[in-house]
Copies of this chain bind each other. A is one copy, B any other.
Amino acid sequence: MSSKKTTIHDIAEKLNITASTVSRALNNNPRISDTTKKAVLNMAQDLNYQPNNIAAALRKGKSQLIGVIVPTINRSFFSSVIRGVEEVANQLNYRVVVSQSNEDSDNEIATLNALVNARVDGVLVSIGKNTKDFDHYKNLIRRGVPLVLFDRTTNEISTSQVIIDDFLGGYMATEHLIKQGYKKIAHFTNYNKINIYKERYRGYIEALKDYNIPFYNKLICESNMQLEDGRMCTEQLLRSGQKFDAIFSTSDYAAMGAMQVLKENSIKIPEEVGLVGFSNEPFTSFTDPPLTTLSQFPIEMGHAAAELFFEILNSKKDKLIPQKTVLQPKLIVRASSIKQRK
């Protein structure tokens, strides 16, 4: 029943021409006459021809596949980036192959190899928190496989990347709180200081400095930045007796934890404590009060990453200058940090 799939040879045979001609006709090669092209196209339709990309990939050495590795796919930020990548890729007749590292270094390497073996034409990666060794990526570049890093990046690898200006993000969040009249601003950051957290932290410090607000080490809490960690940090702050009137958390989840604990302790947000998160997770607009946060424009980040990828792909391999796209984060002001009404 399922007669074999039709190939260009079948088309060629029916039309009494060769497969080369069919191939050229299908690829709209100018050396083929319009008459032949039409005949081929019609016959292809009649025979319900479906090109075998695998065969083409083997011959051309290009699979039309882009690999994307993220720590976890079911986080709004990452799935949105993937969405963005896919939008650009599909436009150019590329498909997106996704893999998760689960923040595990070994897994990240294994998955990277798997993608390479599948002969993806390049890889877009957001590096896991625990990855300290970048040799595999360096090898990849040496072997000429296009690589683009996004969000979770490192300067140890010389390749194109797209990030948001996390320093600015940290600065904006802190400045906003200061301008609202908050003076003792706690900061929750990741204990594992990969680029993004480091930068946000720097922004926080810088803003304090610019506004002559003293920095207290006791107001810093390092953790894994999940909801539970945010709860813990907040409880710790409360127990310590250290006064604070605002929290800038570098993750929305930890901010949510803080919100819960504050509410449980009948501390009013934003009147007594202002709260700012980071990432604009979908839930932040649904909390009570809604949470001020920073949007990282994940879909745009996906677009940018894909564009950088295609730039590498289309460039002469020898004179390739790594590009860096820096997106501006945007402060989304919501009730959790509005002390003054203007």
Q: Is A143 close to B, CB under 8 A?
A: yes
Report the contact-size class of chain A (Cβ under 8 Å from the partner): 35 or more
Q: Within 8 Å CB of A114, what residues of B?
A: 90, 93, 95
Q: Which residues of chain A in 253-290 are interfacial with respect to chain B, using CB atoms and an 8 Å cutoff?
A: 256, 281-283, 286-288
Q: Is there contact, CB below 8 Å, between B52 and A119?
A: yes
Q: Is A64 close to B, CB under 8 A?
A: yes
Contact of A118 among B53, B74, B111 (CB under 8 A): B53
Contact of A99 among B54, B58, B64, B90 (CB under 8 A): B90
Interface string of A305-329 (1 = CB under 8 A from B): 0000000000001000000000000
Q: Is A226 close to B, CB under 8 A?
A: no
Interface string of A35-60 (1 = CB under 8 A from B): 00000000000000011111101100
Q: Is A214 close to B, CB under 8 A?
A: no
Q: Is there contact, CB below 8 Å, between B100 and A98?
A: no
Contact of A50 among B74, B86, B96, B116 (CB under 8 A): B116
Q: Is A80 close to B, CB under 8 A?
A: yes
Q: Is there contact, CB below 8 Å, between A52 and B117?
A: yes
Q: Is A246 close to B, CB under 8 A?
A: no
Q: Is A18 close to B, CB under 8 A?
A: no
Q: Is A82 close to B, CB under 8 A?
A: yes
Q: Is there contact, CB below 8 Å, between B54 and A119?
A: yes
Q: Within 8 Å CB of A237, what residues of B?
A: none
Q: Is there contact, CB below 8 Å, between A115 and B100?
A: no
Contact of A98 among B2, B53, B58, B82 (CB under 8 A): B82
Q: Is there contact, CB below 8 Å, between B286 and A256?
A: yes
New A-B pairs, 10, CB < 8 Å, besides A96-B98, A98-B98, A286-B286 = A2-B144, A53-B119, A54-B54, A54-B118, A65-B118, A86-B98, A86-B99, A95-B99, A97-B98, A283-B286
| 10 closest A-B pairs by CB | A283-B283, A288-B288, A79-B79, A74-B79, A74-B80, A2-B144, A54-B119, A74-B83, A283-B286, A54-B58
A residues with CB within 8 A of B: 1-2, 5, 50-55, 57-58, 63-65, 72-76, 79-80, 82-83, 86, 90, 93, 95-100, 111, 113-119, 142-144, 256, 281-283, 286-288, 298-299, 317
